[in-house]
Structure 1
Amino acid sequence: MSRPSADPAAEQAAAPHGDPARDGTGAAGLPGCDPARAGAFVAVAGLVVDEASAARVRGHLDLGAHHHTPWGIVNGGVYTTAVESAAAVGASAAVADRGQYAVAVHVSTDLLRSRTGGRAEVVAEPVHQGRSQQLWAVTIHDGRPIARGQVRLQNIPLGRGPA
């Protein structure tokens, strides 16, 4: 959710891994949302969040050879990672005042057009924001659609550990 560093693994190793409820406020003003804690996978995917709220997340990807499949095009997993990440940031912003965050329980991404590089814009907006679940729609484009996704998320209390 931030630009990848020259050495994402070293950055990840240096990042704290405590309880999100006690880690303070991070990206987008969300408790526990520190991009350095996201791990090397998310860092290399490269979503940069430019704007985040409960009603909209806007960001971008700077696509390049480090995102390529062996056939020289951007791997669809990069787009799916951006779809899930953008929706999770917005959905978490929507429930932060209730002491919750949101985790994806279903992600669907349609890959519409291949790319080899360049800037791609990412926009996520809620379709439904309920008490226990949310549904977000995400588009990725460069003036023309590249991918679109839908994410169903579960609202979970901060501090609740893994199952």
Structure 2
Amino acid sequence: MSTPKQTKEIRAQLDDLLKAAHERPLNSQELLMINENTIGFDAVLGLRYTHISRGEVRAMVRVNPTLLQPWGLVNGGVFSSIAESVGSLAGVVMAGEVVVGVNNNTDFIKSVTQGIIEARATPIQAGRRSQIWNIELHHEGKLVALSKLRTMTLG
């Protein structure tokens, strides 16, 4: 577990990397740094970012038993949470400042029981104060959930 000082240092490194992503896509070494220092809810989900650039963020989650309902299906909240994390990070990169989600609408299309869920966030509208993101979630190449996330800048 990280100390408050370590957490603050990790957040500062993350901020620097996201500022870089505002200008150019992050390279594999930078993505590795982000993924190895994941904190908070992204760490709980096991979220791994695979692409971060202005206008597109991709990530993946390996399904594990903690993400399942008692009936063995991925909980719908997991899809919504993945979308919130990926879309919010995309919003930060696009805006160059902190954003918060203000609405998350997720449609569940197909059940998932195992494997990898891949997410891709792209902008529908990217204004100065608010943004709307489209987040597609796929499993084995098939669309399994679709989210629309509205974010608002805090600056």
After TM superposition, the score normalised by the length of structure 2 is 0.79
Deviation at 1:13, TM superposition (A): 6.9
Give the residue type in structure 1 aligned to 2:119: V
Aligned to 1:152: 150
Decide whether aligned partners of structure 1 residues 67 and 102 sit closer, same or farther in structure 2, where only a CA change above 3 A counts.
same
Match of 1:128 among 122, 125, 128: 125
Aligned to 2:134: 137
CA distance in 1, matches of 2:134, 2:150: 9
Aligned to 1:45: 45
Match of 1:26 among 11, 14, 17: 14
Q: Secondary structure at the match of 2:70?
A: coil
Deviation per CA, 1:15-39, whole angstroms, max 9, x where unpaired?
Answer: 4248x9xx523178126xx675742
After TM superposition, the score normalised by the length of structure 1 is 0.75
Deviation per CA, 1:122-153, whole angstroms, max 9, x where unpaired?
Answer: 10000000010000000011211111101000
Q: Secondary structure at the match of 1:89?
A: helix
Deviation per CA, 1:70-121, whole angstroms, max 9, x where unpaired?
Answer: 111111111111101111111100111xxx2211011111111111110121
Assess if the C-alpha contact under 8 Å between 1:110 and 1:147 holds in 2.
yes
CA distance in 2, matches of 1:119, 1:68: 13
Aligned to 1:3: none
Assess if the C-alpha contact under 8 Å between 1:28 and 1:51 holds in 2.
no
Aligned to 1:61: 61
CA distance in 2, matches of 1:12, 1:119: 31
Percentage of identical aligned residues: 27
**How much is the aligned-residue C-alpha RMSD, in angstroms?**
2.5
In the TM superposition, what are the counterparts of 1:103-118 in structure 2 within 5 Å?
Answer: 103-118=100-115
Number of residues of Structure 1 aligned to a counterpart in Structure 2: 139
Decide whether aligned partners of structure 1 residues 57 and 37 sit closer, same or farther in structure 2, where only a CA change above 3 A counts.
closer
CA distance in 2, matches of 1:53, 1:140: 18
Normalized per residue, the structure richer in helix is: 2
CA distance in 2, matches of 1:16, 1:103: 20
Decide whether aligned partners of structure 1 residues 102 and 149 sit closer, same or farther in structure 2, where only a CA change above 3 A counts.
same
Gaps of 5+ in 2: 20-33
